[in-house]
Structure 1
Amino acid sequence: GLVARLREEARALREKVEVVDDAPPTTDDSVRSAIRTDAPVPEPPFWGVQEIPVDLDEVFHHLDTHVLFKLHWGGRGVKGAEWERLIREDFGPRLRRMWRDQDYLRPRAVLGYFPCNADGNEVVVFDPEDPERELHRLVFPRQPRHDRICLADYFRPLTEDPNSAQERDVVALQAVTVGPRVTGVCEQLEADGEFAEQLFTHGIGVQAAEGIAEWLHARVRTELGIEAGRGRRYSWGYPACPDQSEHVKVFDLLDAQRIGLSLSGGYAVEPEQSTVAIVAHHPQATYFGMKSGFVPEDGAPDALVIEAPRADELPPDSEPAEAGEPEPAPVPSAG
Structure 2
Amino acid sequence: YHAIQAGMDMGIVNAGQLAVYDTIDPELREACEDVVNNREPKGGGTATERMLELAGRFKGTAGKEAQERVLAWRDWPVEQRISHALVNGITEFIDADTDDARRAAERPLHVIEGPLMAGMNVVGDLFGAGKMFLPQVVKSARVMKQAVAGLLPHMEAEKLANAASGIDNGERQTAGKILMATVKGDVHDIGKNIVGVVLACNNYEIIDLGVMVPAAKILQTARELKVDVIGLSGLITPSLDEMAHMAAEMEREGFDIPLLIGGATTSRVHTAVKIHPRYAKGQTVYVADASRAVGVVSALLSNEAKAGYVENVRAEYKKVADAHARSEADKQRLPLARARANAHKVDWTGYEPPKPSFLGLKVFEGWDLAELARYIDWTPFFQTWELKGRYPKILDDEDQGPAARQLFEDAQAMLAKIIAEKWFAPKGVIGFWPANTAGDDIRLFTDEARSHELATFFTLRQQLAKRDGKANVALSDFVAPVDSGKADYVGGFIVTAGIEEVTIAERFVRANDDYSSIMVKALADRFAEAFAERMHEKVRKEFWGYAPDENLAPDDLIGEPYRGIRPAPGYPAQPDHTEKATLFRLLDGERNAAVSLTESFAMWPGSSVSGIYLSHPESYYFGVAKVERDQVEDYARRKAMPLAEVERWLGPILNYVPARYAEAAE
TM-score by length of 2: 0.38
Kindly report which structure 2 residues correspond to 1:87-98, keeping only aligned pairs within 5 A, or say none.
Answer: 89-98=405-414
The equivalent of 1:290 in structure 2 is: 624
**Partner SS, residue 49 of structure 1:** strand
Cα distance in 2 for residues equivalent to 1:98 and 1:131:
49
Kindly report which structure 2 residues correspond to 1:158-237, keeping only aligned pairs within 5 A, or say none.
Answer: 158-159=482-483, 166-223=485-542, 224-226=545-547, 227=550, 229-237=562-570
Cα distance in 2 for residues equivalent to 1:141 and 1:176:
25
1:118 to 437, 446, 450: 437
The equivalent of 1:326 in structure 2 is: none
Contiguous gaps of at least 5 residues in structure 1: 1-15, 161-165, 293-335
Kindly report which structure 2 residues correspond to 1:15-164, keeping only aligned pairs within 5 A, or say none.
Answer: 21-25=332-336, 29-37=340-348, 38-53=350-365, 54-68=367-381, 70-76=382-388, 80=397, 89-102=405-418, 103-128=422-447, 131-145=450-464, 146=466, 147-159=471-483
| Structure of higher RCO (CA pairs closer than 8 Å, 6+ residues apart) | 1
Instruction: Give 1:55 shift.
Output: 2.2
Instruction: Give 1:191 shift.
Output: 4.3
Which letter maps to 1:75?
L
Which letter maps to 2:441?
E
Cα distance in 2 for residues equivalent to 1:238 and 1:43:
27
Which letter maps to 1:274?
S
| Backbone CA RMSD of aligned residues | 2.7
**Partner SS, residue 503 of structure 2:** helix
Instruction: Give 1:20 shift.
Output: 8.4
Which letter maps to 1:90?
Q
Instruction: Give 1:130 shift.
Output: 5.1
Instruction: Give 1:122 shift.
Output: 0.9
Tell me if the contact between 1:72 and 1:200 (Cα under 8 Å) persists in the aligned partners.
Answer: no
> Higher helix proportion, which one?
2
Q: 1:24 to 1:99 in 2, by over 3 A?
A: same
Instruction: Give 1:192 shift.
Output: 3.5
- Provide the identity percentage: 25
> Higher strand proportion, which one?
1
TM-score by length of 1: 0.72
Instruction: Give 1:30 shift.
Output: 4.8
Tell me if the contact between 2:333 and 2:463 (Cα under 8 Å) persists in the aligned partners.
Answer: no
Tell me if the contact between 1:27 and 1:142 (Cα under 8 Å) persists in the aligned partners.
Answer: no
The answer to whether structure 1 residue 248 and structure 2 residue 581 are counterparts is yes
**Partner SS, residue 111 of structure 1:** strand
Quick check: 121-130 or 238-247, which moved more?
121-130
Quick check: 233-242 or 185-194, which moved more?
185-194
Instruction: Give 1:39 shift.
Output: 3.8
Instruction: Give 1:115 shift.
Output: 0.8
Tell me if the contact between 2:575 and 2:624 (Cα under 8 Å) persists in the aligned partners.
Answer: no
Which letter maps to 1:260?
A
Instruction: Give 1:240 shift.
Output: 0.5
The equivalent of 2:129 in structure 1 is: none
Which letter maps to 1:149?
V
Cα distance in 1 for residues equivalent to 2:497 and 2:618:
31
Aligned length: 269
Which letter maps to 1:24?
P
The equivalent of 1:261 in structure 2 is: 595
Offset from partner CA, 1:265-311 (integer Å, 9 cap, x none): 1122211111111111111111100249xxxxxxxxxxxxxxxxxxx
**Partner SS, residue 132 of structure 1:** coil
Cα distance in 2 for residues equivalent to 1:195 and 1:73:
13
The equivalent of 1:9 in structure 2 is: none
Instruction: Give 1:195 shift.
Output: 1.8
Cα distance in 1 for residues equivalent to 2:347 and 2:494:
28
Tell me if the contact between 1:72 and 1:199 (Cα under 8 Å) persists in the aligned partners.
Answer: no
Cα distance in 1 for residues equivalent to 2:530 and 2:436:
29
Q: 1:291 to 1:39 in 2, by over 3 A?
A: farther
**Partner SS, residue 566 of structure 2:** strand
**Partner SS, residue 141 of structure 1:** coil
Point out the structure with max Rg over C-alpha.
2
Instruction: Give 1:22 shift.
Output: 4.8
